[in-house]
Structure 1
Amino acid sequence: MGESMVVRSLDDYARLAREELDSAPSEFLAARERASAGNREIFGRTGLRQGGSGQLGPPDTETKILGRTWPQPFAVGPLAGLVRPEDELDVVRAAGRTGLPVMVGTFTGRGPAALAAATDGPLWLRVPTTGDRDTVRRSARSAAAAGFEALVLTPGPGRSPGNGADGADLAWLRSVVSLPLLVAGIRTAADAVLALEGGADGLVAEELAALPSIAAAVAGRIPVLLYGGVRRGADILVSLATGADAVLLDRPVLEGLVVAGREGVAEVLEALAGELAGALAFTGTGSAADAGPELLRTARGPVPEAAAARGGRGDAELSKADLHTSVSDPVLDTMNFLNEVTHRYPDAISFAPGRPYDGFFDTEEIFTHIRRYLDHLAEQGSSPGQIRTAMYQYGPTAGQIREIIADSLRADENIDVPAASIVVTVGAQEAMLLVLRALLSGPDDVLLVASPCYVGITGAARLLDLTVTAVEEREEGFSCADLEAAILRERALGRRPRAFYVIPDHSNPSGTTMSTDTRTELLDIAERYGILLLEDSPYRMVSPGTPLPTLKSLDRARSVVHLGSFAKTVFPGARVGFAVADQRVVDDSGRTSLLADELAKIKSMVTVNTSSLSQAAVAGTLLAAGGRVSELNSKAAAHYGEAMRATLASLDAHLPAERREALGVRWNEPTGGFFLTLNVPFRADNEALTRSAQEYGVIWTPMSYFHPQGGGHHGIRLSTSYLTPAEIEEGTARLARFITEQSARS
């Protein structure tokens, strides 16, 4: 203990200290762990809601308790029951350097004067309300003389807080010293009221579940602190959001102490402060004082007044406050607003829709595709009755064309997986929903996404109340170093990164493509940190040239779940997608299955199965092309490539290099896909979009839609897939005029 060492996280301290603390001959520690178990259970199932904040700079963590401002909303202690009581000075000194209070016990290894001499930070004395009054009087007066700032009264077994007929009660102790008096052991609102009426200056609650009612009972008249089970920065924020003004820390401090002495305590306190700041930033909360129950994902708020007033009358109207909070999330409103603008200005040229060009579709071909699949079933030996059942009945949940999809993946993508590892879904969107629901199981699980990001994945995560952390792309593209840093950051916050979502090829919305070296490095990171990669690549086969290998084709450790879609390559109206999930799943008895099997279980409760007619149309198309989607889409890929080149050339003509440099305008130059990105000097928000459509007759998509944690305010996404050459030429001319005049106006 006390050696100079490097400890990476609070988890490291907990692991290194566990053996010594668990074997320590301390009834106090054992009792505290038992008492904290209920709080730990609640912390374990309570998550924080992700939010955005317009605040610049780090969150404000200062808290004012008993007239003194603390840098953080937590204090250390009580120190009674230390494994090595002689190390009290290390704890006091480490906490004192940060200005945090330390609560020490009456019967400590050091007297109040010695402890006070070791720190400039505030000290509190914990005194029992049972026992000899003379002893309590001497301890209290010694603490006051040494400069202690408060006393904390702890009722004995079976006693009510604030009342001690045969010991030191509040009234008597107030006649002994003039220090502020806090009452510990508060478990109910009734306890809180009793202590408040007895003249308490503060309360120490021990039941997280009772914290809302305790806080409501005191109504802000005196501070309420929570003691028990707090081990992470997220726990602190959950406590504040539940009603505490601050928390008391014991176990993490002890872990720091036994591992690395004073330096360990200092590192633990610093880590907790960092985690709290990270949790505040994650929820978009500007200060610790602003934390409220709306931050909690598992909390049920009070019944809105309007709903309460309606009672049980059965009125048809619903309060939006009674609906799931996702319906009010901006991510679910973005495309609705875009559609509204499009319908409001039908004559505007729209670079917004990311959909295939209609000119490649022939209505009669649908029947040809279905007939081809029916013939295939007959050739495989199916009877007329079996074929009828295959088309008219629900069909297997995991899909009835999995073998055909598996053959296509081998032929076109060099993805060699068994058909059993494939689940056929209602578009790739359902595949995302199924995978997220299966993989992210607890409040500490996190989905990482490359940002800017397709809104479908963040929208699905929002519907499921999942935590999303954005890994921002650099201007030159995605960086694996940024992903690794994000993984380490999440772990330091006590969260578990489970998966990383990325579109490696001609991504939506930015249009960027990941290099081969980056793909290899990304697979290495996934294997090293035990996360899964969710690969979504719908634009590969509708782009000119030979595509780079998919992540799944390079996957040797089963680290990739491949999300596929036939929307761009066959036709979107079929609504057929799939997930390749060949990861092994092991249950408690040692039995194994495939992740695909688990996804199918979830799908059986969501859509039951994917339309048999849609599967037939897609399967017939694949069979006609020998499974080679690339050959099926060779004409379309050439068209989309030409549309992209025409858009880039037209932009260059209407905004030549000298002019765009003067304006501060730039764009990337994708080699395929449907999208490219412009950066402009003005705020490209909904207001600017409306003006562009109304006054200039051109529609685009704000890039801010695709940044789940804020950003992209000066970005514009252009989709090139749906327009004719004439529309591209006229549309870019209008866009150039809008950008030029909007820049001047800004």
Structure 2
Amino acid sequence: MMDDRSQLSAMNFLNEVSGVFPSAISLASGRPNDRFFDKLDPEVLVNALRVYERHSTGCHRSGQGWSDLLQYGRTAGIISEFVAQQVRSDEGVPAKADRILITSGCQEALAICLPALCPEPADVLLVCNPTYVGVTGAAKAAKVAIAALSNSGPSVADAIEAAVQDLRRNGRRARAIYLIPDFDNPTGRVLGAVARRDILQVCARHRLVVLEDNPYGLFRYEGDAVPPMAALDQVGSVIYLSTFSKTLSPALRVGAAILPDTIFGDAGVCQALWDDLVQRKSFVTINTSQITQAIVAGLLIEQRASLRGWIRPALDWYRANRDVMLRQLDSVFSPLSDPIRWNRPSGGFFLALDLPFRFGADDVDECARRDNVIVMPMSFFALDDSQDCRVRLAFSAVTPEQIRTSVTGLGRYIERRLGGKLPGLTGGLARG
């Protein structure tokens, strides 16, 4: 198991490995693919600014002109109505503009929400195990205590109930839970509609706020979409976290925290939380860049408030990459399907690979040095040692040929660790 220090430095570690072994193919990075950034060339970006400016000045006498965009702006943001339209259209979230706080990416939303929801030393944030390192890092930076849900129970809702009771016996209180219900990072898991409703019932009973993070929700490759928890929420328990990092570009640094109308039926509590979040943001970043907000709004205006058409080429690419990875995994590892298993994610950027041995930081180094592939140990995302024999494989930022080559390289590494031959490796090359 990684200690707190090594868990928090996981990203730095992987960046260093990539620098030390520049020829190694990285399956560790869950970035959007660079090939789609050509759609955002300088002319497109400038045009988006002009579209927003024309719309703003046309709708309001005191619209956002060039000089206004270059000035300090409203802490809560200037494009909430556009974001509300987009999440209503694309994700079915009943968002209202006056409850949307525009943030500098979803990471800032986490950084300000966690201490606001867990202000007392006895307050605890619940997380799945494993979970996104950004939320554990933000919690630790804000000195918010974390408790991992047990993986041994029959459901997430049961795990939440058990965690709440266990904390209560120890004089502590669960105040919030962080979830990625669609194509979870790092596991690729999806929570079904029944599971989501069960979770909402437990959270309503214990007045537990759900932070629903949905960076990958639009990247579904197969099957029917499951309504976001924010769309199923009937009591005001869900704060919906949105970002344009995967759909448009990470460099824009535009995200949002979308509050419900009430918090557990109390509009006053919701207003107080809103005021607290806005004040906290004013102390952190003052306001999200108005230039990048205007670019996002201009693109949304041009796309008629939906990004489904915009992301279609990327969606098709990521689906094809997932399929290439699944075929190559099957080609290399199918003879060992009992000790080596993997899931088939129905969307997102990742899948999880189970191994019959521990895989940690030293193994990342050896695999990169000898087999020219970098993978992400699942232990980097875990709060105990339960994930030590798993790795996360990301297929979004690489080409199909890189996927085939890197999975073959991983096969060679695993072959050495197992001390035998993998039938799927022939003459150093995998079939398929």
Q: Which residue of 2 aligns with 1:686?
A: 361
Deviations 1:182-213 (A, max 9, x none): xxxxxxxxxxxxxxxxxxxxxxxxxxxxxxxx
2:279 is aligned with 1:604: no
Shift of 1:383: 5.3
Counterpart code for 1:371:
R
Going from structure 1 to structure 2, the CA distance change for 1:591 and 1:637 (only over 3 Å counts) comes to closer
Cα offsets for 1:45-86 (capped at 9, x unmatched): xxxxxx989xxxxxxxxxxxxxxxxxxxxxxxxxxxxxxxxx
In structure 2, runs of 5+ residues without a counterpart are 421-432
**Code of the aligned partner of 2:5:** D
Match of 2:112 among 434, 456, 459: 434
Q: For the aligned residues, what is the CA RMSD? A: 2.1
Please tell me whether residue 338 in structure 1 is matched to residue 17 in structure 2: no
Counterpart amino acid of 1:516? A
- Corresponding position: 1:716 with 2:395: no
Give the alignment partner of residue 378 of structure 1, picking from 42, 57, 60: 57
2:124 paired with 1:446: yes
Q: For 1:592 and 1:406, how far apart are their aligned partners in 2? A: 18
Secondary structure at the aligned position of 1:469 is classed as strand
2:426 equivalent in structure 1: none
DSSP-derived class of the 1:633 partner: helix
1:75-474 equivalence runs, <5 A: 329-362=5-38, 363-364=41-42, 365-382=44-61, 386-473=64-151
- Find the aligned partners of 1:445 and 1:742 in 2 and give their Cα distance: 43
Matched, 1:739 2:426: no
Distance 1:424 1:740 in 2: 48
Aligned partners of 1:672 and 1:52: how far apart in 2? 28
Cα distance change, pair 447–592 in 1 and its aligned pair in 2 (3 A) = closer
Q: Does 1:676 align with 2:351?
A: yes
Partner of 2:173 in structure 1? 496
Post-superposition offset of 1:337: 0.7
| Aligned residue identity for 2:332 | H
Tell me the equivalent position of 1:699. 374
Distance 2:166 2:150 in 1: 14
Structure 1 ranges of 4+ moved more than 3 A: 381-384, 472-475, 583-586
Shift of 1:627: 1.1
Determine the structure 1 residue equivalent to 2:199: 522
| Aligned twin of 2:424 | none
Q: CA deviation at 1:612?
A: 0.6
Determine the C-alpha separation between the residues in 1 that align with 2:34 and 2:152. 34
Compute the displacement of 1:416 (Å). 1.7
CA contact (8 A) 1:469 1:709 kept: no
Specify the alignment match of 1:487 in structure 2. Answer: 164
In 1, distance between residues paired with 2:310 and 2:136? 31
Q: Is the 8 A contact 2:130 2:381 kept in 1?
A: yes
Q: Is the 8 A contact 1:447 1:500 kept in 2?
A: yes
Alignment of structure 1 residues 503-652 onto 2, 5 Å: 503-545=180-222, 546-582=224-260, 584=262, 593=271, 595-652=273-330
User: TM-score, normalized by length of structure 2?
Assistant: 0.91
Contact 1:406 1:418 in 2 (8 A): yes
Q: CA deviation at 1:700?
A: 0.4
Cα drift, residue 570 of structure 1: 1.0
CA distance in 1, matches of 2:418, 2:46: 51
Q: Per-residue CA shift, 1:534-579, capped at 9, x if unaligned? A: 1001001123244211000111111001111110011111011110
Give the deviation of 1:659 after TM superposition. Answer: 2.9
1:451 deviation in Å? 1.2
CA distance in 1, matches of 2:318, 2:134: 23
CA shift for structure 1 position 378: 2.4
Inter-partner Cα distance in structure 1 for 2:188 and 2:361: 22
3-state DSSP of counterpart to 1:647? helix
- Secondary structure at the residue paired with 1:678? strand
User: Quick one: which amino acid aligns to residue 631 of structure 1?
Assistant: G
1:740 to partner: Cα distance: 1.6
Partner of 2:425: none
Instruction: After TM superposition, give the deviation of residue 731 of structure 1 in Å.
Output: 1.0
Q: 1:692 to 1:478 in 2, by over 3 A?
A: farther
**Do the aligned residues in 1 keep the contact of 2:156 with 2:199 (CA within 8 Å)?**
no
- Paired amino acid for 1:702: P
CA distance in 2 between partners of 1:389 and 1:555 (Å): 41
Given the superposition, is the C-alpha separation of residues 581 and 700 from structure 1 closer, same or farther in structure 2, using an over 3 Å criterion? same
Structure 2: distance between partners of 1:345 and 1:556:
50
Which one scores higher on RCO, CA 8 angstroms, separation ≥ 6? Answer: 2
C-alpha distance in structure 1 between counterparts of 2:357 and 2:294, whole Å: 48
> Offset at 1:350?
0.7
Q: Distance in 2 between matches of 1:575 and 1:446?
A: 28
Structure 2 Cα separation of the partners of residues 562 and 717 of structure 1: 25
Q: Between Structure 1 and Structure 2, whose CA radius of gyration is higher?
A: 1
Q: Check the 8 A contact 1:421/1:595 in 2, yes or no.
A: no
Q: Structure 1, residues 111-134: CA drift from partner, whole Å, max 9, x if none? A: xxxxxxxxxxxxxxxxxxxxxxxx
